Structure 1
Amino acid sequence: MKKTTFLLVFFLLGIALMAQSTYKVDPAHTSINFKVKHLGITFVQGKFEKFDGAITGEPDKVEQARIYFNVETNSINTSVEARDNHLKSADFFDVEKFPAMTFESTGIEKVDDQNYKLNGILAIKDVSKPVTFDVKYGGTVTGQDGVQTVGFVATTTINRLDYNVAYDPDAATIGKDVVITLFLEFKKSSDK
């Protein structure tokens, strides 16, 4: 009886997973951006150029979706080569030792028809911590290529010291808080 019950549960779980769609990030229409205060008077902005990610679920059931993201730390770009090289060093991201940052969702809460709270685990360097993104759902359309495309804007603020990005720990020059803004488009994958 136990074996039959296990097989039935496994079969039903398999059907549920097959019924879900996968939407892969469209790198041509997605950007991973950040800004941090400099000298306490203005901001330095940057982005990461290489990443991948996906949503498993359906746009009309956002709360049930699962989301993951992977960002190559070596792809950081602040438009100043010397600063980028310093950010890649052990003072900041230590890209040789920690080549990726990752995010995996743990739950999504609906605020209203366009706004959500995306909860998950953000891993930077050797630290994994819970984080919540404020997400605005932009909608779902069929793109010029005939593929269903879904769009979001997600924002959060983290303390870089919490993730051992601890250069200038007193924040005399570089602020502790990092504002992250993601402009996201995902395309429905034909892969199942």
Structure 2
Amino acid sequence: MKKLILTVMTTAGVAAQAQVKWSIDNAHSKVGFSVTHMMISETEGYFKMYGGEVSSKSETDFTDAAITFTVDVNSINTDNEQRDGHLKSPDFFDAAKHPTISFKSVSMKPAKNTNEYELVGELTIKGVTKKVSLLAKGSGKTVKDPWGNIRYGFKVTGVIKRSDFGLTWNAALEAGGVVVGDEVNINCKVELIKAK
């Protein structure tokens, strides 16, 4: 009897620790950003190629979720080839030496509002790793697509300083100020697919 109870408890413990695995649906996700241009407007861009994995407690509880994410710097797109080439150069990302941007979560805790999380992780850009804090707003529920896949969505936002990662190129404006702002707004839309 004692062995039976111990077996049941052990099985229950393993089940409680089981993680839900997710992959990113690139066809329905976007890794975007924007930065102030000449102090008067914003230039937007995004990365075409990226990938990552997520492990969560359940299909709708992402507290303490484990997240790894990698971006291909050479896939940057701001709808201007000349500007994209400059962004890949040593003045900015130096894609030849540092072809990827990576993120690894440190913690993911519930935020003030329902289905929102404070996502803290280590962001590595141009060989420099800094801890950043982002806001991840979840869809709150899953949906099953016509092919039987379970899906969940997130909107991830935050602000980082490019100078923290060695992206310091700039040019002064005649009337004062600079061409490119230091603060970069992160704006990602991520659709997850549960692993089968």
When normalised by structure 1's length, the TM-score is 0.87
1:183 alignment counterpart: 189
1: CA distance, partners of 2:74 / 2:15: 37
Alignment match, 2:127: 126
The match for 2:40 is: 41
Question: SS of the counterpart of 1:84?
Answer: helix
Letter in 1 for 2:20: S
Q: Percent identity?
A: 34
| Aligned partner letter, 2:136 | V
Q: Partner residue of 2:21?
A: 22
User: Which residue matches 2:6?
Assistant: none
Q: Distance in 2 between matches of 1:184 and 1:16?
A: 27
Distance in 2 of aligned mates of 1:16 and 1:54: 21
Greater CA deviation, 37-46 or 167-176? 167-176
Contact 2:101 2:124 in 1 (8 A): yes
More helix by share: 1
- Report matched runs for 1:1-192 at 5 Å: 15=14, 19-57=18-56, 58-111=58-111, 112-138=113-139, 139-168=141-170, 172-190=178-196
Q: Which moved more, 1:110-119 or 1:91-100?
A: 110-119
1:15-56 CA distances to partner (integer Å, 9 max, x unpaired)?
A: 569821210000000000000000000000000000001111
SS of residue matched to 1:90: coil
Matching residue of 1:6: none
The letter of the residue matching 2:183 is D
Q: Which runs of 5+ in 2 are unaligned?
A: 1-9
Counterpart Cα distance in 1 of 2:109 and 2:152: 18
C-alpha RMSD of matched pairs (Å): 2.1
Partners of 1:113 and 1:97 in 2: how far apart?
41
Superposition misfits of 4+ residues, deviation over 6 angstroms: none
Long gaps (5+) in structure 1: 1-10
Q: How far did 1:159 drift? A: 0.5
- Please tell me whether Structure 1 or Structure 2 has the larger radius of gyration of its CA atoms: 2
Q: Does the 8 Å CA contact 1:54/1:186 hold for their aligned counterparts?
A: no
Cα deviations by residue, 1:110-144 (Å, 9 ceiling, x for unpaired):
02322110011110011100111111111311122
